[in-house]
Each structure stands twice: as C-alpha cells, then as structure tokens.
Amino acid sequence: MKTLTTIFLTLILAVSLAQASAFSKDAKYRTTKIHITAEQPVTSGSNTFKFFITKDAKAVDAEVTIKAFMPAMPGMPAMESKVKATSLGNGMYEAKLNLAMSGTWQIHIFITPKSGKKSRIKTSINL
C-alpha cells in the first residue's frame, strides 16, 4: 500500500513538473538517466535548461558539461557551444546553451563523478 501511494505521488509530481515546463525531454545511457527541461519555449539563441541526472535511480553528484553542436550544412559552417553546468544540488544541474539557429542540435552530456566511471549521454533538441 505504501508503495502504491509512493507511485501515485510520484506520478502526480511528474505530471505537474511536465506541465510546468515548456520543454521536456528524457535520455539515458545504461542506468544513467537524464530529464531535460526548460521553463521557456526553446528558441534560437540563448536558452536555459535544467538537467536532472540519476544513476541507478539515485541523484548524481558530478561535474557536468554540455555540448550542443550542429554539423556543417550547405552554406553554414559547423556550430558548437560547450558549457559547464552549474549544480543546483540533489542531481539537478542548470546550463545556458546558445543554439544559434533553428534546426536539430546534437546534445552530448558529459558526466564526470568524483569517483566511478565517466559517462556520456547523447540526445538532440529540435527548434
């Protein structure tokens, strides 16, 4: 019964968090999961994203670097923006990414914990 209550409350929290965000995306690599959100709709230019990172369902304490890039296209050179995310505690990180044009941006999240294996999660953001 306690488990059911916990699941139910988690669902309510997940739904309300999803509604509060203008952008939301999930990605994972093995048991490391990341939940990416933005309070404002994602547009070309500077965007602030929050990253909630867990490994084996536990909040991750690590150095987190985000790389956003777009390969060269006809008439456009390759674009890249790499930033170190700020830790907000309890597995939550924040970073401002400059997505200079509309299109599909490849996103790589580099996670370097104080001990244990480094990991990299790949995803993409369309705008």
CB 122 within 8 A of CB 27: yes
| 18 or 76: CB nearest Cu ion | 76
| 34 or 125: CB nearest Cu ion | 125
Using the contact rule CB under 5 A, the part of the chain among 33-41, 59-67, 89-97, 99-107 near Cu ion is 99-107
| 22 or 73: CB nearest Cu ion | 73
* Interacting residue with Cu ion among 40, 76, 94, 116 (CB under 5 A): 76
Which stretches of the chain are assigned E, i.e. beta strand?
A: 23-29, 32-38, 45-55, 58-59, 62-70, 79-84, 86-89, 92-99, 104-113, 119-126
Rounded CA separation 63/93 (Å): 10
Contact flag: residue 73 with Cu ion (CB under 5 A): yes
- Write out the residues near Cu ion by the rule CB under 5 A: 70, 73, 76, 103
